[in-house]
C-alpha cells in the first residue's frame, strides 16, 4: 500500500482524511509492517465504504485487512437509520455469521498424545466436512423455520448441548429479530442436507494446546491455563447463508439506483435500513445468524461424541462463540451521545470490553473473549475486548484471524499438499482433509503473521492478548 496518502496518527493508526465523496475519514489500524504489506484494494475499499449514506464516525479496517467484496475483509462500518443509513449485503458477505467457538476439554497434552491418531481419525469420521458431505439431521419445513427463529436455543431444545452453552454465545445463542419468512425456499433447500456440516476452504475444527498465557488475570477469568487442551470450530451459516447473501446482494444491486444510492462498486450493494428491502435483509440475515449458531451447536455435540468415544473422561465446555460476518444493532457512544447504530463487521469480531452489560457475569470484569483463528499449522490466539466508555475504538471491534497474504492461485503454485501434510505431521500436527489441493491453498505461509496481527490489535486498543494456542489436530473439508 502506498502510505503517502495516509496520515499517521500513532504507531498503529493510519487515517485517510475525508475528501471528495467520502462522508467520513477511513481509519486503518495496523503496524507499519502490516500496512505496508496490505494490498492497495484495502485503501480503495475502506475509502469507498466511507462514501455510503448514513455512515457514522469513520470507515475502519483491522490489522488483518485484505481485499474483500465491496468492504475490505477486516472492515467495520456503522450506520444510523435516522440519517439514511444503509445495510449492505456485501458488507456482511456470503458466509453470514461465519465465526469461531472454543471449548475447554479438561484434558492435558499427555491425554491427547496417547490417542492422537485415533482421535484425529474419529473426529474426521464423525464431522461431515467438504464438498459432497451431508449432515444426519433432516428438518421438516416447520422445523427449518423453528431453527431459523431459534438458533442455538433451538438446537439445545433439540438435545444438542445444554442451557449452560447459551450464555457463552453472542446474543445468548439466538437473534431475536430473525425473520424466517424472509428466507427464500431456495435458501432453505440449499440448507436441507447441511445441518451439522463443517464446510471447506478456511473452515476447520482444531484440537489445540494452550502454549502461552500472556494475561494471567484474564486467562483465569476465562478458565485457561498453560498446557490446557481446547477445541476450536470455525464455520458459518452454510448453504443457507451463502444463498441469502447471493439473493439479497443481487436485489440490492439492482434496486440501488431507485433508492438514489450511487454504488462506487456493485459489491457494496446496500439498501436504506428504513426501507422494505433493508428490513427484509435484516430479517433474513438474522435467520442466517441463527443457522450458523445452530450449526456450531450441532457440531459441538458431534465433537463431544467423538471425544467421548476416544477419551471418555473428556468434558467439553464452551468458553465462547463469536461471529465475524454480521450487521448488529448496537448502542454506541458517539461524541458523548449514545446512538443506536447498525454495525457491519466483515471479517471482524465484536470485542466488548469490561463492564459491558451484554457479557455473562464470568466475563464482566475481563471483557469479551475474542477468538482469533490463525492459519492451519501456526497459532491461534484468544484476546479480550478492551473497549470501555470513552476508550472505544472501531465500535468495539477487533481482527478475526491472520488474513490471507497470498492468493489461492499463488499458494498452489508454491506448495504441495502432500509435502505440507508430512511437514506438519513431523511437527506433531495431524491434518485430516479430503483434498491435498485444499491443504496447499490453506498453506500456513499463505497467511499473514497472526502474532503481528494480534499485537497490533492490542497496541491499537482493540483487544488484549490473553493466550496463545497451537494446533495438534486439524480437520478440514
Partner 1 sequence: MNNWAHFQHGADIGVRGFGATREEAFVQAAIGLTAVITDPESVAAVFPVTIACQAPDDELLLVDWLNALIFEMSTRRMLFGRFEVVISGSELEATAWGEAVDVARHHPAVEVKGATYTELELSRQPDGRWRAQCVVDV
Least spacing, CB of residue 131 vs partner 1, in Å? 4
308 is catalytic: no
Least spacing, CB of residue 247 vs partner 1, in Å? 9
Q: What is the separation of C-alpha 464 from the centre of its chain, rounded to a whole number of angstroms?
A: 17
**Which residues are near partner 1 by CB under 8 A?**
39, 41, 66-70, 73, 90, 93-95, 130-132, 134, 186, 189-190, 192-193, 199-201, 239, 242-243, 245-246, 249-250, 253-254, 265-267, 269, 404, 407-410, 434-438, 441, 477
Which residue number, 131 or 419, has a Cβ lying nearer to partner 1? 131
Least spacing, CB of residue 218 vs partner 1, in Å? 30
Which residue number, 199 or 367, has a Cβ lying nearer to partner 1? 199
Which residue number, 183 or 341, has a Cβ lying nearer to partner 1? 183
Least spacing, CB of residue 425 vs partner 1, in Å? 19
List 308, 400, 409, 416, catalytic entry: 400
Least spacing, CB of residue 261 vs partner 1, in Å? 15
Which residue number, 176 or 254, has a Cβ lying nearer to partner 1? 254
Which residue number, 304 or 476, has a Cβ lying nearer to partner 1? 476
Which residue number, 430 or 446, has a Cβ lying nearer to partner 1? 446
Least spacing, CB of residue 246 vs partner 1, in Å? 4
Residues annotated as part of the active site? 400
Amino acid at each position: 500500500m502506498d502510505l503517502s496518502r495516509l496520515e499517521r496518527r500513532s504507531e498503529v493508526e493510519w487515517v485517510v482524511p475525508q475528501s471528495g465523496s467520502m462522508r467520513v475519514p477511513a481509519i486503518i489500524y495496523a503496524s507499519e509492517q502490516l500496512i505496508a504489506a496490505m494490498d492497495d484494494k484495502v485503501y480503495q475499499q475502506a475509502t469507498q465504504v466511507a462514501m455510503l449514506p448514513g455512515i457514522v464516525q469513520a470507515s475502519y479496517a483491522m490489522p488483518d485487512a485484505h481485499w474483500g467484496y465491496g468492504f475490505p475483509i477486516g472492515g467495520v462500518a456503522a450506520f444510523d437509520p435516522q440519517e439514511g443509513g444503509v445495510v449492505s449485503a456485501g458488507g456482511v458477505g456470503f458466509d453470514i455469521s461465519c465465526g469461531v467457538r472454543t471449548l475447554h476439554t479438561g484434558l492435558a497434552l499427555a491425554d491427547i498424545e496417547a490417542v492422537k491418531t485415533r482421535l484425529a481419525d474419529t473426529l474426521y469420521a464423525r464431522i461431515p466436512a467438504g464438498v459432497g458431505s451431508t449432515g444426519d439431521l433432516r428438518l421438516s419445513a416447520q422445523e427449518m423455520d423453528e431453527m431459523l427463529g431459534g438458533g442455538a436455543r433451538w438446537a439445545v431444545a433439540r438435545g444438542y448441548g445444554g442451557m449452560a452453552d447459551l450464555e457463552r454465545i453472542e446474543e445468548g445463542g439466538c437473534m431475536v429479530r430473525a425473520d424466517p419468512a424472509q428466507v427464500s425456499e431456495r435458501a432453505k433447500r440449499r440448507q436441507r442436507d447441511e445441518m451439522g456440516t463443517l464446510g471447506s476452504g478456511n473452515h476447520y475444527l482444531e484440537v489445540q494446546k494452550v502454549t502461552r498465557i500472556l494475561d494471567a488475570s484474564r486467562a483465569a477469568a476465562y478458565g485457561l491455563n498453560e498446557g490446557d487442551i481446547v477445541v476450536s470450530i470455525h464455520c458459518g451459516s452454510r448453504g443457507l447463508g451463502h444463498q441469502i447473501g447471493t439473493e439479497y446482494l443481487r436485489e440490492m444491486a439492482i434496486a440501488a439506483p431507485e433508492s438514489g444510492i450511487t454504488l462506487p462498486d456493485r459489491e457494496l450493494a446496500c439498501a436504506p435500513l428504513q426501507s422494505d428491502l433493508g428490513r427484509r435483509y435484516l430479517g433474513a440475515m438474522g435467520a442466517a445468524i441463527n443457522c450458523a449458531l445452530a450449526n456450531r451447536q450441532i457440531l459441538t455435540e458431534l465433537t463431544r461424541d467423538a471425544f467421548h468415544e476416544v477419551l471418555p473422561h473428556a468434558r467439553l465446555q464452551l468458553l465462547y462463540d463469536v461471529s465475524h460476518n454480521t450487521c448488529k444493532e448496537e448502542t454506541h457512544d458517539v461524541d458523548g451521545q449514545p446512538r443506536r447504530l447498525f454495525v457491519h463487521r466483515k471479517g471482524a469480531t465484536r470485542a466488548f470490553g469490561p463492564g459491558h452489560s451484554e457479557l455473562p457475569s464470568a466475563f464482566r470484569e475481563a471483557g469479551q473473549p475474542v477468538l482469533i483463528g490463525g492459519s492451519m499449522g501456526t497459532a491461534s490466539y484468544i484476546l479480550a475486548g478492551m473497549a470501555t466508555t470513552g476508550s472505544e475504538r472501531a465500535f468495539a471491534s477487533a481482527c478475526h484471524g491472520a488474513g490471507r497474504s497470498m492468493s489461492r492461485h499463488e499458494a498452489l503454485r508454491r506448495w504441495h499438499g502432500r509435502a505440507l501434510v508430512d511437514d506438519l505431521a513431523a511437527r506433531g500436527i495431524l491434518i485430516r482433509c479430503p483434498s491435498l489441493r485444499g491443504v496447499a491453498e490453506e498453506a500456513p505461509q499463505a497467511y499473514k503473521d497472526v502474532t503481528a496481527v494480534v499485537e497490533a490489535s492490542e497496541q491499537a486498543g482493540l483487544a488484549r492478548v490473553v493466550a496463545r494456542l497451537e494446533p495438534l489436530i486439524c480437520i478440514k473439508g
